[in-house]
Amino acid sequence: MASPVQTPRPRVRHSYAGPIVLIIIGIVFLMGTMGVLDWADFGHWYAHYWPVLLILWGVIKLVEYQQAQHEGARYPGIGAGGVFLLIMLIGFGIAATQASRVDWEAFGDHTNWDNGDFFQNMHIFGPSYTFNDEISQSFPATANLHVNSGRGNVSIQDSDDNQIKVVISKRLHARNQQDADKYNLSTKPKINVSGNLVTLDANTQGAGDHGVATDMTISLPRKASVVISTRHGDVSVSGRDGDIDITSAHGDVSATDIHGKVTVDLDQGSAQLSKIGADVSIRGHANDVSLDDVAGSVRLDGEFMESVKLSKIAKSVTFKSPLTDIEFSKLDGDLDLDRGDLQATNITGPLRLNTRSKDIRLDGMAGDVRLQNENGTVEVHVNKVGSMQVDNRQGDIQIYLPDKAGFQVDATARGGEVQSDFTDIKIVSRDDQATASGNVGGGGPHLVLNNEHGTIEIRKASSADADNSGSSSPKTPKGSHIPQPTDN
């Protein structure tokens, strides 16, 4: 019997699409590592024209299919490796296109990723170029100054003449010197005078999406009021008789020797003010705040993440944050507030303090006190006795009073005890509650002390002096603890 005739299997043609695309990618990276190809140019090209690679791939596969049909060979198809490469090309292409459409400065403004010149310092935007310039013109005698800056530091100082002078230091990234010169010309700061208003615009967006950072040192007559608005960069002001109004996002603010009012609106920055001759107002989201030698009142309203330091405030202080609310009449000493502690010296009341998760120590207190706290100790050293109400939970209360002070007291400790150095105070303990009451030194201001799950101590000031003798550090309150980190 004759053997059956076997039909030869069609020859399989190998695809060249994958190797060709890989060769192209390899050539691109080789040119980049050799410095022949500018990565910024390539990134811009790839973000807009990456579908060309898919078209090239499709053309190659179409030619291969036609050749396979003509030769009677089997068409190889795409294969698992080709599918993977296609997915990579499409994925990176879509990501590059979307990234090219993002306003990165706006992205930085609305996130906590605050690194002033992060994107400016990325080499994919090309080499860095620096330009220095100076502009000046006459400043009207009764005019005020408004400064607008997108990115860069702003410094204000007084001048001896009736001129406004701006010293400019500009940083930008470009593909080459020619482009850098073009961007520099289109981003020159502009001064506009309209009646009694002088506007200085840093013009950092003058080159479109080719943002620049422009530092400006501005000199102008001392008596002029100044309004400053910045998006990225530090602000420094010194030597002003007029009012100062600063709005700063992602930058630190400092001001000294200011005779007028100071208003600061912060977003992810810090403020350091000293020698201010009028009222101070700070609001917004701040890291650190430091105020020293303020002749007016102080108002702080917002979220203060790290610490607040106050020193020598001549008039009232109002502090409002999500976790702490303080009001008092005067500060002759210092106040230091951070995530877990509040310490102050020489406060004049009436004082109202409402907070939680803080160890509180007030030294040299004078006047009325209304204090609420929880999850922290309260220690008050009184110089001049006023009416007092202290409510605390999960922490001890220690009140130190002048040895010969006159006052009346009512104290209740639930889940704790009451201790006293004054023999006129009667203490009664029953079950899990202790109470104390009495008139000391003929009576006087009323002290109301309430505590849950903590001890109440009513001490003479001399006992505190004895406890602290021979020690450079103040006595640690009994039952002190480490509060959990929170915002102020």
Contact at 8 Å (CB) between 364 and 347?
yes
Q: What is the pLDDT of residue 477?
A: 43
User: On the CB side of 120, how many CA atoms lie within 13 Å of its CA?
Assistant: 22
Q: What is the pLDDT of residue 339?
A: 84
For 436-453, how does the pLDDT look when each residue is reduced to its tens digit (9 = 90+)? Answer: 999 999 999 999 999 999
Q: Who contacts 195 (Cβ-Cβ below 8 Å, separation ≥6)? A: 140, 143
- How far is the C-alpha of 69 from the C-alpha of 63, rounded, in Å? 10
For 164-221, how does the pLDDT look when each residue is reduced to its tens digit (9 = 90+)? Answer: 999 999 998 887 899 889 999 999 999 999 999 999 999 988 877 666 899 999 999 9
Residue 207, token pair as written in the block: 């080159």
- How far is the C-alpha of 313 from the C-alpha of 316, rounded, in Å? 7
Residue 197, token pair as written in the block: 């208003």
Q: What is the pLDDT of residue 228?
A: 97
Contact at 8 Å (CB) between 73 and 33?
no
Q: Which residues of the chain have pLDDT under 70?
A: 1-18, 21, 32, 34-44, 71-82, 99-126, 209-211, 465-488
Q: What is the pLDDT of residue 48?
A: 73
Q: Report the 10 Å Cβ neighbour count for 423.
A: 8
- Give the chain's largest Cα–Cα span: 136
Give the containing element (helix H, strand E) for 271: strand 262-276
Q: Report the 10 Å Cβ neighbour count for 208.
A: 9
Q: What is the pLDDT of residue 36?
A: 60
Contact at 8 Å (CB) between 401 and 458?
yes
Q: Who contacts 120 (Cβ-Cβ below 8 Å, separation ≥6)? A: 128, 151, 171, 172, 173, 211, 212, 213
Q: Who contacts 27 (Cβ-Cβ below 8 Å, separation ≥6)? A: none
251 forms beta bridges with: none
Q: Report the 10 Å Cβ neighbour count for 89.
A: 17
